Amino acid sequence: MRLNDYIKRAGQSSIPLHEITGEELQRLHKEMTDIADDVISLADELGLSITLGGGSVLGAARHRGFVPWDDDIDLNITRKEWEVFAPVLQERFEEKYFIYAPDSFSDAVINAIRIYKRGTKLREIAHAPNEPNGIFVDIFLLENAPDNGAIRLCHGVLCQGLRYIASCVRLYEQRAYIESVFGKNAEAMAGYRKRFFVGRIFSFSSAHSWSLLSYKANGLCKNEASRFLTIPSGGKYYFGELIRRDSYFPPEYLPFGDHSWPVPRDYDRYLTKLYGDWKEVPPEDKREVHCLIELDFGDDDDE
Q: Tell me the residue range of the domain where 122 lies.
A: 3-149+224-296
The count of other CB atoms within 10 Å of the CB of residue 284 is 8
pLDDT band at 21 (very low <50, low <70, confident <90, very high): confident
Cα–Cα dist 236/280, whole Å: 19
- Percentage of residues of the chain with pLDDT beyond 70: 92
Average pLDDT over residues 190-200: 94
Decide if 26 is inside a domain: yes
Closest by CA to 117, choosing from 50, 42, 32, is: 32
Compute φ and ψ for 141, nearest 5 degrees.
-85, 125
What is the b/e burial string over 202-221, where b = at least 16 CB atoms within 10 angstroms of the residue's CB? beeeebbebbbbbbebbbeb
How large is the C-alpha radius of gyration of the chain? Answer: 19
Decide if 235 is inside a domain: yes
Decide if 181 is inside a domain: no
In sequence order, what E strands does the chain have? 50-52, 74-78, 97-100, 113-117, 121-124, 136-145, 228-230, 243-244, 252-256, 259-263, 292-296
Average pLDDT over residues 181-200: 88
Decide if 303 is inside a domain: no
Residue 119, Cβ density class (10 Å: 0-12 exposed, 13-18 middle, ≥19 buried)? middle
- Cα dihedral 178, 183, 187, 191 in deg (nearest 10): 40
* Residue 1 in this model has a pLDDT that exceeds 60: no
Decide if 283 is inside a domain: yes
What pLDDT sits at residue 222? 98
What pLDDT sits at residue 5? 53
Decide if 234 is inside a domain: yes
pLDDT tens digits for range 213-230: 999 999 999 999 999 999
* Residue 3 in this model has a pLDDT that exceeds 70: no
Compute φ and ψ for 122, nearest 5 degrees.
-150, 105
Decide if 206 is inside a domain: no
Longest Cα separation, the chain: 56
**Total number of domains in the chain:** 1
What pLDDT sits at residue 290? 66
Decide if 278 is inside a domain: yes
What pLDDT sits at residue 289? 67
**Of residues 109 and 59, which shows the higher confidence score?**
59
Q: How far is CA 289 from CA 13, 55, 72, 82, 239, in A?
A: 16, 11, 10, 28, 24
Residue 125, Cβ density class (10 Å: 0-12 exposed, 13-18 middle, ≥19 buried)? buried
How open is the CA angle 141-168-200, to the nearest 5 degrees?
A: 145
What pLDDT sits at residue 10? 44
Q: What is the CATH number of the domain that holds 70?
A: 3.30.460
